[in-house]
Chains A and B, each alone.
Chain A
Amino acid sequence: MLSPLLLLPLLAIMILNLPIRSLTQKLSVWVGVGLSLWQIVAVILLATGRGCTDTWGKFFTLGLSCDNLTLVLLMSIGIVTLTTILVGWQTIGGDKQRFGFMNLVFVAMIGMNGTVMLTDLFSLYIFIEVTAVASFILIAYQRDTNALEGAFKYIILSATATVMMLLSISIMLLVVGDTSFAAVGSAVKQSQGNPLVMFAVGIFICGLLIKGGVVPFHGWLPAAYSAAPAAASVLLAGIATKTSGIYALIRLTTSVFANNESVNSVLLLAGTISILVGAFAAIGQSDFKKMLAYSSISQVGYIILALGCGTNLAIIGAVFHLFNHSIFKSLLFVNSAAVETQSGTTDMNKLGGLGTKMPVTNATSLIAFLSTAGVPPLAGFWSKLIIVIALWQNGLHTYATIAVLASVLTLAYLLLMQRRVFFGKVADGLANVKEAGWGITVAASILATITVGVGVLFPWMFNSVLMPISSFLK
């Protein structure tokens, strides 16, 4: 069940690029929708006990494995990819353009699926790079100068991250002789206190923090998220950063670099700074998408903070917040796509009063921002609550208080955004704005339903779905 997740997109790319272009161009979107739906179904099948074994592994020795953390990520990847395809269907015109877009999305899917399923440091790096390359091209897809600027900054910083990760891998090769998670993990545990190993660990983590967009390694993030075209932002913000940066960090700090105190304190500090810098920067923004980008930085800070705490409950909170964040951040970006395509601008000073003209976008945006701010009974509230409780239980009272206070900040800037864009008087020149096309509204509704559903059903989900996530923390 696992190799198809990697191989089917590859197969799709190969088949779609056969010489019968004219036929396949029209089919590409359907294939994309089918693949992402299949991914969601596959995750559900895997989760309900069909076993995480690689039945095709006899033919392709890919060395895939999956546990509960992987399942959560695969589910997010499936959902966000589906959303991206729906948004792309709506916003990208022209068969040829759409075809190119779909190919890139398939490449990104391969990259992300591979990142979460493989158990080797170098393979991790390879698939992170695959995702990154797909993202570069996606960001620069429409070739306007701002997008190119964003893509270029991402490339440069991604290259820096590459350098750090590879440096670390070479040192691991030196000390351990192998790059698989198991080998590196045991070596790190044994050589507890070897400065070289700690240096390698630190450098690798820095590389991942750059990829994940954690302060102070976040420079590329506002530019890339805000300049990318609508569908690419959804993919990038929703899942690409999360998989390449944050998932890898979770996997490594829990199993490979195992609960090291200094690593934890680094993460705590980085997380807190991210939360604060992201929140404060977001308050003063006048560009809709840049505010969402800084909000991403802030929310990722929460995840890193929880990682730094290190207990079972904290890791569960981090993973749950990861899932929630991919859902509600994608939703926010889908709505920004709706606003952008319908009104032609993302400058909040020029927008206003769109709530009456775009009711679905208004409602889903309300749900998304309430979830981000952590308002019960939506999903974001529960994950933040778990994180704060875990922090408090561990004795990290100051960090817990900062996390709670930052929620107030989050609520503030998101409320400002909602008010400026959706409520109030209709701004000049926006009188003819209609609701966005069906692709965007369907995607937004699906994501909003998931947020509300997860939030409301949380009490029942807690013991059955969430607690087992920590089973990967052996």
Chain B
Amino acid sequence: MNDSFILLPIAIPFIAGLVVLLISQRIQSVKEAIALLATAATLGLTITLYGENINFSIPWTGFGIDFALRLYHFSAFILVAASAFSFLFVLYSCSFMRDKPYLNQFYSYLLITLAMANGAVLSDNLVLMLFFWEGLMLTMFGMIAIGRPGAYKTAIKAFIIVGGTDLCLMLGIGIAGHLAGTMTISKISLPVDFLGSLAFVFMMIGAISKAGSVPFHTWIPDAAVDAPLPFMAFLPASLEKLLGIYLLARISLDMFKLTAGSWISILLMTIGAITILLAVMMALVQKDYKRLLAYHAISQVGYMILGIGTCLPIGIIGGLFHMINHALYKSCLFLTGGAVEKQTGTTDLAKLGGIGIKMPVTFVCFLIAAASISGVPPFNGFYSKELVYDAALERGTIFYLAAILGTFLTAASFLKLGHAAFLGKRSEQNDNVRETSLPMLVPMIVIAAVCIVFGVWNYLPLNDLIKPILGEERLAGYEFSPNTMLITITVIVLVGALLHHLFAAKVNGSGYKASDHIRHAPFLEVIYTKAEKRWFDPYDIGLKIVQGTSRLGWWIDRGIDWLYEDFAVQVAKGLSSIIKLAHTGSYSMYVVWSLIGVLFVVIMLMKSF
């Protein structure tokens, strides 16, 4: 296999994306066919390339910025995952996105996003990775903006938040490259001294914001409502987690020598814990299917960051396993949400209810995925969460408590979601709901099946995919025996959540109102109300501050404006008219000019004599 095959996972989706863009809107099936073919080809290619170690580098621009790609087990793993997800989502979108506007842009953005993501994962040079990372930002903007009229506001918000953190990433890359003297990722290994930790923090900000952690998360719930649903399944649920946690893992494991006990580790764990709790509290009280799922996506990232932040092998493995598990079950959840939306026309929980019987396959997939996310054995979420609990407990009880509380609330909110959407009384307008079409069912079933496989036979992914990432030295001497005490606590917590839900549903009247008592609890009510008015959204706060200072700067601006716009323009216009007057149009004048010019030249040349 030629080394330059490594370029194909980037090139094929990119070219396919451009081709789709050029084909007219009307020939829908051709676009779908091209998208399917391209993603299938990429999937086949990445599976074939899996297990090889390829390094590919051509000089690009100077100064150590090479077009360097590296395929090893970690990047191959992410590559296969990304391609598999895109194939499934394209299949799903064939049915879901039919008759929606801007179709050719949607498919082309999807394909180009896949190309950029592959490039970012494969790249071995920091600047090249940044290049692909930024490309992702652009396609993300495009994909959100084509969702609904008015979606561009959310797209702008996403762009600003991600763009701002990208700047931090750029800064971090700059410092890291400067410290290490090279931009090639596989060669960088820096100690965490003052500058090193600064670089780490900046790059970490870029990585976790891509993954969607607090406080860079506020665009995700808005996008859940505004953007087309396959986008939500594709980017925030799976691809961004894969990329963000991939980068976080690279910088924690390979680029910087992080040790357990350092302040960075505590920082990461704190961010993780806060993310878990904050997001799940918000998720609990949501009344819209998609927003609820979006908040959960944010919350689960907290587990991954917590896991990697512990800097213990068990925690890192847990975090990485959780990354792939989350991609699986969260995208399955979003896909079920899309199925519900397509069949009933709404995602408002107040209007849904009792469609579980009408849409049995969707319901079963939802159950599997919801059980996975809540951490019910024997599904995959349970195992990855156990690993994270184990590591968190070793590092500090408070982190463990935060994680377990998160599990409780997660389970509660999914019980509420399942009850409100699929069980309970069915309203009239949902009487004619049928099961959704096959292209939408197949991805859900496939992913749900993988959830089960990764759960029951969990040593398969752990041994083949995740453990090689850490390498032999770090794993030496660690045992992964299940800690029975932890498992017991988990089971108790889950049962408790179930009981709480049944009790609350009874008290409040319906499954959909099951979390109302939390919503209206004395202290929390105030916070929830303010959160709903977006008081806590850092983006909105930032906007208000910006508006305030711009008022102030406006007056200063006036003065500078005069200088640049009026004064300079007058000067330019004056000079221009002088020159125009000088050109009289008479050829003899021009000859005279030339002769005067000759005189000057001769004088200048003969000056030295």
Instruction: Tell yes or no: A195 within 8 A of B by CB.
Output: yes
Would B605 and A216 count as touching, CB distance under 8 A? no
Instruction: Tell yes or no: A93 within 8 A of B by CB.
Output: no
Nearest-CB distance from B45 to chain A (Å)?
A: 26
Q: Chain A residues near B30 (CB, 8 Å)?
A: none
Would A216 and B593 count as touching, CB distance under 8 A? yes
Binds A, one of B438-446, B530-538, B573-581: B573-581
Would A262 and B604 count as touching, CB distance under 8 A? yes
Nearest-CB distance from B575 to chain A (Å)?
A: 4
Q: Chain B residues near A216 (CB, 8 Å)?
A: 593-594, 596-597
Would B591 and A157 count as touching, CB distance under 8 A? yes
Nearest-CB distance from B60 to chain A (Å)?
A: 6
Q: Chain A residues near B576 (CB, 8 Å)?
A: 280-281, 283-284
In Å, the complex CA distance between A280 and B580 comes to: 9
User: How would residues 356 to 380 of chain B score, 1 for a CB under 8 Å from any chain A CB and 0 otherwise?
Assistant: 0000000000000000000000000
Residues 146-203 of A at the B interface (beta carbon under 8 Å): 152-153, 156-157, 160, 164, 193, 195, 198-199, 201-203
Nearest-CB distance from A274 to chain B (Å)?
A: 11
User: How would residues 306 to 323 of chain B score, 1 for a CB under 8 Å from any chain A CB and 0 otherwise?
Assistant: 000000000000000000
Q: Which of A201, A280, A285, A460 has the most CB of B within 10 A?
A: A280
Q: How many residues of B contact A (CB 8 A)?
A: 30
- Name A202's closest neighbour in chain B (CB-CB): B605
Would B605 and A198 count as touching, CB distance under 8 A? yes
Would B593 and A217 count as touching, CB distance under 8 A? yes
Binds A, one of B294-302, B465-473, B493-501, B582-590: B582-590
In Å, the complex CA distance between A202 and B590 comes to: 19
Q: Chain A residues near B598 (CB, 8 Å)?
A: 164, 202-203, 206
User: How would residues 422 to 459 of chain A score, 1 for a CB under 8 Å from any chain B CB and 0 otherwise?
Assistant: 00000000000000000000000000000000000001
Q: Given A195-B609, A206-B598, A266-B601, A284 and B580 touching (CB < 8 A)?
A: yes
In Å, the complex CA distance between A277 and B598 comes to: 18
Instruction: Tell yes or no: B33 within 8 A of A by CB.
Output: no
Q: Chain B residues near A78 (CB, 8 Å)?
A: none
Instruction: Tell yes or no: A117 within 8 A of B by CB.
Output: no
Q: Given A157-B587, A157-B590, A157-B594, A281 and B602 touching (CB < 8 A)?
A: no
Q: Chain B residues near A262 (CB, 8 Å)?
A: 604-605, 607-608
In Å, the complex CA distance between A67 and B334 comes to: 65
Would A199 and B60 count as touching, CB distance under 8 A? no
Interface SS of A by simple majority: helix
Binds B, one of A17-25, A97-105, A218-226, A347-355: A218-226
User: How would residues 256 to 267 of chain A score, 1 for a CB under 8 Å from any chain B CB and 0 otherwise?
Assistant: 000000110110
Nearest-CB distance from A389 to chain B (Å)?
A: 13
In Å, the complex CA distance between A201 and B604 comes to: 12
In Å, the complex CA distance between A205 and B601 comes to: 9
Instruction: Tell yes or no: A209 within 8 A of B by CB.
Output: yes
Instruction: Tell yes or no: B606 within 8 A of A by CB.
Output: yes
In Å, the complex CA distance between A413 and B63 comes to: 35
- Name A263's closest neighbour in chain B (CB-CB): B605
In Å, the complex CA distance between A222 and B576 comes to: 15
In Å, the complex CA distance between A219 and B605 comes to: 23
Q: Given A281-B576, A281-B579, A283-B576, A219 and B604 touching (CB < 8 A)?
A: no
Would B601 and A281 count as touching, CB distance under 8 A? no
In Å, the complex CA distance between A138 and B607 comes to: 41
Q: Given A280-B575, A280-B576, A199 and B605 touching (CB < 8 A)?
A: yes
Instruction: Tell yes or no: B61 within 8 A of A by CB.
Output: yes
- Name B572's closest neighbour in chain A (CB-CB): A283
- Name A205's closest neighbour in chain B (CB-CB): B601
User: How would residues 284 to 298 of chain B score, 1 for a CB under 8 Å from any chain A CB and 0 otherwise?
Assistant: 000000000000000
Q: Chain B residues near A409 (CB, 8 Å)?
A: 572
Residues 182-207 of B at the A interface (beta carbon under 8 Å): none
In Å, the complex CA distance between A277 and B591 comes to: 18
Would A283 and B573 count as touching, CB distance under 8 A? yes
Instruction: Tell yes or no: A210 within 8 A of B by CB.
Output: yes
Nearest-CB distance from B567 to chain A (Å)?
A: 15
Q: Chain B residues near A152 (CB, 8 Å)?
A: 587
Q: Chain B residues near A156 (CB, 8 Å)?
A: 587, 590-591
In Å, the complex CA distance between A262 and B605 comes to: 5
Would A206 and B597 count as touching, CB distance under 8 A? yes
Q: Chain B residues near A284 (CB, 8 Å)?
A: 573, 576-577, 579-580
Q: Given A222-B583, A459-B60, A202 and B602 touching (CB < 8 A)?
A: yes
Would A195 and B587 count as touching, CB distance under 8 A? no
Q: Chain B residues near A265 (CB, 8 Å)?
A: 604
- Name B604's closest neighbour in chain A (CB-CB): A266
Q: Chain A residues near B602 (CB, 8 Å)?
A: 199, 202-203
In Å, the complex CA distance between A206 and B599 comes to: 10
In Å, the complex CA distance between A457 and B591 comes to: 44
Nearest-CB distance from B156 to chain A (Å)?
A: 24
Q: Given A201-B605, A202-B602, A409-B572, A280 and B594 touching (CB < 8 A)?
A: no
Would B591 and A281 count as touching, CB distance under 8 A? no
Q: Given A219-B593, A283-B572, A283-B576, A206 and B587 touching (CB < 8 A)?
A: no
- Name B571's closest neighbour in chain A (CB-CB): A280
Would A266 and B605 count as touching, CB distance under 8 A? yes
Question: Which listed residue, A198, A209, A283, touches B606 by the CB 8 Å rule?
Answer: A198
Would B594 and A160 count as touching, CB distance under 8 A? yes
User: How would residues 45 to 57 of chain A score, 1 for a CB under 8 Å from any chain B CB and 0 otherwise?
Assistant: 0000000000000
Question: Which listed residue, A209, A219, A266, touches B590 by the CB 8 Å rule?
Answer: A219
Would A206 and B601 count as touching, CB distance under 8 A? yes
Residues 299-353 of B at the A interface (beta carbon under 8 Å): none
Nearest-CB distance from A193 to chain B (Å)?
A: 8
In Å, the complex CA distance between A458 and B605 comes to: 38
- Name A210's closest neighbour in chain B (CB-CB): B594
Would B589 and A219 count as touching, CB distance under 8 A? yes
Q: Chain A residues near B604 (CB, 8 Å)?
A: 202, 262, 265-266, 269
In Å, the complex CA distance between A219 and B606 comes to: 26
Would B591 and A160 count as touching, CB distance under 8 A? yes
Would B597 and A209 count as touching, CB distance under 8 A? yes
In Å, the complex CA distance between A196 and B50 comes to: 77
In Å, the complex CA distance between A13 and B95 comes to: 65
Q: Chain B residues near A209 (CB, 8 Å)?
A: 597
Would A219 and B594 count as touching, CB distance under 8 A? yes
Q: Chain B residues near A222 (CB, 8 Å)?
A: 583
In Å, the complex CA distance between A277 and B583 comes to: 11
Nearest-CB distance from A460 to chain B (Å)?
A: 8
Nearest-CB distance from B576 to chain A (Å)?
A: 3
In Å, the complex CA distance between A209 and B595 comes to: 12
Cβ contacts A to B, 29 pairs, < 8 Å = A160-B591, A160-B594, A164-B598, A199-B602, A199-B605, A202-B602, A202-B604, A203-B598, A203-B602, A205-B601, A206-B598, A216-B594, A216-B597, A217-B593, A220-B587, A220-B590, A262-B605, A263-B605, A266-B601, A269-B604, A277-B579, A280-B575, A280-B579, A281-B579, A281-B580, A283-B576, A285-B580, A412-B572, A460-B60
Extra 6 A-B pairs, beta carbons < 8 Å, given A156-B587, A409-B572:
A157-B587, A160-B595, A202-B604, A203-B598, A284-B576, A284-B579
Q: Which 7 A-B pairs have the closest CB atoms?
A: A219-B590, A284-B576, A459-B61, A202-B605, A281-B579, A216-B597, A280-B575
